[in-house]
Amino acid sequence: MKVNSTELQNNFGKYLMLAAREEIIITRNGTEIAKLSALSHVPAENDTESATIREEAEAYRYGGRKASYEEFLELSQNSEERYEYIDGEIYLLASPKTTHQRALVELFGLFYNWFQGKKCTPMVAPYDITLRRNPENINVVQPDIMVICDLEENLNENDYYMGVPSLVVEILSVGTRSKDLIKKLDLYMYCGVREYWIVNPLNKELSVYLFEDQNIIDNITYRKSETVQSFIFPGLSAELDQILK
C-alpha cells in the first residue's frame, strides 16, 4: 500500500495497525521516502509476541548511533549534552526552538494546575525515563512532559524514577518528527504507557493515543479550535488554540 506523508500524519493510528498486516510505502510529492513494516521480535521469557514498527528511511536513522547500554551511560554521564537511547541507538537531543518551548510552557502549566492535589505528578524534560522491552533491551528517553502516578514507589537510591509514566507528551519538530511518531510511539505502547499525546506545531494538531495490552485501543487527532480530551484522566482537557498560538 502507498500513502502520502500528509495522509499518514493525519491518520497515523490507522496506518500503524495496517502495517502489522502489510507494508506501507510513504510518499512525498510522488516520491517514495520511507516504509512502515511490522517486524517480529524475539520475546523474553514469559513475554508475549508483538509487532514493532520500523521506518526504513535515511532521515529516520539520521542521528542514531549503535551502542551498548553501558556505552550510552558512559557517554551521557560524562557530557553536558542530552541524549536518548532507543533500541540500541543513541540520539542527540538538539536545543528546542521557540515554537516548541511555547507549546511546552502552555501545556505543562495546564497539567501542573490540573494535577494539583491529585495523586499523579506532571514532570517536564529534562528527566530520564527508563523503559524496558525485556531485561536486555533497556531504553532511556526524555519526553517533553510526563504524568507519573507511582513516583514515590519507584525512586531508586540515586533519586531516579524507574517506573512507567501513565501519560507522556512529545512536541514534534522537523528533526524529531519521525522518531516521535514511529520509534517512540511503539516504545511507549510496548512498555506500558497508557496515553500518548503528540503535539504537532507544524500542522497545528494534537493527536492522543490510548494504549492497552501493547495495542492502540483508540486515537483522536484534534485540529484548529478544538478541545483536547484525555482518555485516562476524565476532565483533563486543553484548548488547542491556547497550546499552539
The secondary structure of residue 143, as a DSSP letter, is -
* 78 burial via Cβ count (<10 Å: 0-12, 13-18, 19+): exposed
Give the model's pLDDT for residue 31: 78
Over residues 93-124, the pLDDT tens digits come to 888 999 999 999 999 999 999 999 999 999 99
The angle at the Cα of 121, spanning 116 to 127, to the nearest 5 degrees, equals 140
Over residues 209-223, the pLDDT tens digits come to 999 999 999 999 999
Instruction: Please state, for a pLDDT cut of 70, what percent of the chain lies above it.
Output: 82
Count of CB atoms situated within 10 Å of the CB of 202: 13
In SS3 terms, 10-57 reads as HCHHHHHHHCCCCCEEEEECCEEEEEEEEEECCCCCCCCCCEEEEECC
Stretch (H or E) spanning 98? helix 98-114
Look up the CATH number of the domain holding residue 62: 3.90.1570.10
Give the model's pLDDT for residue 56: 31
Q: Domain limits at 67? A: 2-243
Total number of domains constituting the chain: 1
Residue identified by cell 512536541 is 171
d(CA 207, CA 223): 9
Q: Which of the pair, 60 or 150, is modelled with greater confidence? A: 150
8 Å CB contact between 125 and 145: yes
